[in-house]
Homo-oligomer: A and B are copies of this chain.
């Protein structure tokens, strides 16, 4: 099943727009996992088992696994396998923000889609749509392009005025209107910048998924963000929380509460 349909079904089934970011940091794991042979994987398993009926997607952040080299990649693979085997209805978004020339992007796509079996990926726009072609050809996969990122310094280039509009608007327009022949493009817009998110929703139209990081640890306001980003059907957003859920005292409860809160505000 293609990413968009899989996501739609997970949103319906769990009545949730919440995505849990799987960013396990060895230093921050609860004590009980630190001694495990595969601590990141065991920790993820506990998070996944606790939250699987509150989420519409999981988003492992590749960096947290790569940092440990072979051992980390093994645990990333085990995490993706675990989700697919136990909760096959929940899509996996590999957050790895890759971008290179075409023949290299083909290899990055192989890692995400063939090796890990991810349903969607996040990508850098700087090298343009031509370079992203090998990703775009996976028409059943979600191809989620950075438009406006959640970090403090994201305005440095993203908000530069470029031929009449800020760069992030150019990126959103090109991605949605020119690169989107398979209708599988999504965009990233940080919750920390609701005005830009609103503008990105206007550009993206009703059918484009927007992945929104930046609530919780990064401080984005949920209500303001939803007002800015939801489409006409009160959907179209994937609201990610990583640290706010996975390191809370009770991840099951925190995820369920966020789901309920989003549900009420929708």
Contact = CB atoms under 8 A, between A and B. Distances in A.
A152 B101 CA distance: 9
B66 A108 contact: yes
A73 B69 contact: yes
A169 to B, nearest CB: 11
A131 interface: yes
A260 interface: no
Contact of A170 (B116, B157, B170): B157
Q: Please state the number of chain copies in the assembly.
A: 2
A16 interface: no
Interface residues of A, number: 56
A99 B73 contact: no
Interface stretch (A2-10, A120-128, A219-227, A244-252): A120-128
A77 interface: yes
A127 B100 contact: no
Contacts of A68: 115
Q: Is the interface of A mostly helix, strand, loop or mixed?
A: mixed
A64 B107 contact: yes
A104 to B, nearest CB: 5
Interface of A: 23, 25, 61, 63-64, 66-70, 73-74, 77, 97-102, 104-105, 107-108, 110-111, 114-116, 124-131, 146, 149-158, 160-163, 167, 170-171, 174, 218
17 contacts: A25-B107, A63-B98, A63-B107, A64-B104, A67-B107, A73-B73, A101-B150, A101-B151, A124-B124, A126-B146, A127-B149, A127-B151, A127-B158, A128-B153, A131-B149, A160-B170, A167-B167
Given A125-B157, A130-B152, 5 more contacts: A61-B100, A67-B107, A67-B115, A128-B151, A161-B162
